[in-house]
Structure 1
């Protein structure tokens, strides 16, 4: 496999444009949340604390190493399961980190925009956010759209943007705390996680039980290992989706459960 990377063009492997994008996002974030610019805009020299700032910066660099480097090169040219790892990193690691890094004022300003605020509140309702996330995630893993993303770079970028947006709304009821929005109790958060996991299972099951590979791009891609046939690769991708999402939900559920008292089930 090392030979694959040795022959890869530098721009294809390390994606300088994505590195610049990640760096620019961090510079803008730091300018707007700390220092003179933040003070002029918000009358505060530090709009976010150290933990939030670190969360956003780590999220940006995870974005880079997910969308560029060896993982991205494998996913774009050889392996469906590598592409699934890429999607899962974006959804369960990168997105929550970036959301946690943004100041509460950013969300409050969005909610205060006439018309937009109403849409965001409806979409942000747990039942809606979970349903939209899992439905769109499944649709984008249909054979036509998935192959289109692999063959068209602009549509691929659109796909990743959509995943970030729907994942943001899915995570919002769990990690964004605002005075103007009623927070879920810990018990409700546990039920919400179970709701999301159940909605995710149909696409996982369909990928696992299918009797033929769905994605023609990977069927015709060079094989890196004889045992990793297109069918086995697709099934491995389904298992990766299930394990990543289960791990993320379970991690959050354990955290919520350890903070509970009996009142959470009755509030």
Structure 2
């Protein structure tokens, strides 16, 4: 009965989250200025394809949905909290990374020192261990409750996890073609490694018979049909489903790129052989 002091958290204004909405709109406007007028001014040829632009916009929409509406419930519901985490760290980074044209990233290699540093922080084994290590540590009850009790720690931990997530997605999506270090088979291995490393944290939460987090024990039940323990288990399941979906999509994209590249090479080989055949009619065979 006494949870009415939490009521204001669920008014429509806080669900809309005007602050997050404003940031999202500004990022969107910035993106289109960057790939339009700014690009022409600087004389860059490459502009993202339509589906990359769409991907970037979807990434921004997911960013808003996670940090706005979902976040409103994340203080009272563990499954909402996990949904927010999964969307921000699993869905947003690959869409944003792929949506930006490669000339945005090239300055990262502008000096040998910078190039070396960036090579290290995006080294596949380093990124796997850092992201999954941070993620698992964050969900240790003692760490989690300490973070949840302080808005400063919360902000810092989300920034650190956000950077780690972008690092973890870099080897998979690598938006700069000449810096792509992993072939499709290695990317498959990387995704399997990622899936395995993130599973203990999810499994621990999903199969726990006790409420692991102080932060959600006092909270009012935001969704009355879910008990606190069900909410905790659902959180782990939501995380795993979104994460598997994101990895699956990137895997599909990787193989699509690989097949396309394979076909292109075959076509080039065919074209280089063809002129030796009979003149005239061979050119039609390519198409």
Same fold (TM over 0.5): yes
SS of equivalent residue, structure 2 residue 211:
coil
TM-score by length of 1: 0.84
TM-score by length of 2: 0.78
Deviations 1:112-132, CA, capped at 9 Å, x for gaps: 245333222112111111111
Shift in Å, 1:227: 5.5
Change over 3 Å in CA distance of 1:247–1:28 after alignment to 2: closer
**Is the Cα–Cα contact under 8 Å of residues 72 and 83 in structure 1 kept in the other structure?**
yes
**Is the Cα–Cα contact under 8 Å of residues 131 and 165 in structure 2 kept in the other structure?**
yes
Shift in Å, 1:185: 1.4
**Is the Cα–Cα contact under 8 Å of residues 46 and 101 in structure 2 kept in the other structure?**
no
Between Structure 1 and Structure 2, whose CA radius of gyration is higher?
2
Question: For residues 125 and 227 of structure 1, what CA distance do their matches in structure 2 show?
Answer: 44
SS of equivalent residue, structure 1 residue 115:
helix
Question: For residues 106 and 224 of structure 1, what CA distance do their matches in structure 2 show?
Answer: 42
Listed as ranges, the gaps of 5+ residues in structure 1 are none
Shift in Å, 1:199: 0.9
Question: For residues 15 and 155 of structure 1, what CA distance do their matches in structure 2 show?
Answer: 21
Change over 3 Å in CA distance of 1:205–1:24 after alignment to 2: same
Aligned to 1:52: 52
Aligned to 2:67: 67
Q: Does 1:30 align with 2:32?
A: yes
Question: For residues 122 and 106 of structure 1, what CA distance do their matches in structure 2 show?
Answer: 19
SS of equivalent residue, structure 2 residue 179:
coil
C-alpha RMSD of the superposition: 2.7
Listed as ranges, the gaps of 5+ residues in structure 2 are 263-287
Shift in Å, 1:248: 2.2
Shift in Å, 1:26: 1.6
Question: For residues 17 and 258 of structure 1, what CA distance do their matches in structure 2 show?
Answer: 38
Question: For residues 154 and 12 of structure 1, what CA distance do their matches in structure 2 show?
Answer: 20
Question: For residues 56 and 254 of structure 2, what CA distance do their matches in structure 1 show?
Answer: 22
Change over 3 Å in CA distance of 1:7–1:235 after alignment to 2: closer
Q: Which moved more, 1:238-247 or 1:250-259?
A: 250-259
**Is the Cα–Cα contact under 8 Å of residues 141 and 212 in structure 2 kept in the other structure?**
yes
What aligned pairs does 1:101-180 form with structure 2 within 5 A after superposition? 101-180=99-178
Deviations 1:178-222, CA, capped at 9 Å, x for gaps: 254243111111111111111112212222343421211111111
Shift in Å, 1:174: 1.3
**Is the Cα–Cα contact under 8 Å of residues 33 and 45 in structure 1 kept in the other structure?**
no
Aligned to 2:200: 202
Q: How many residues align?
A: 256
**Is the Cα–Cα contact under 8 Å of residues 16 and 68 in structure 2 kept in the other structure?**
yes
Shift in Å, 1:164: 2.3
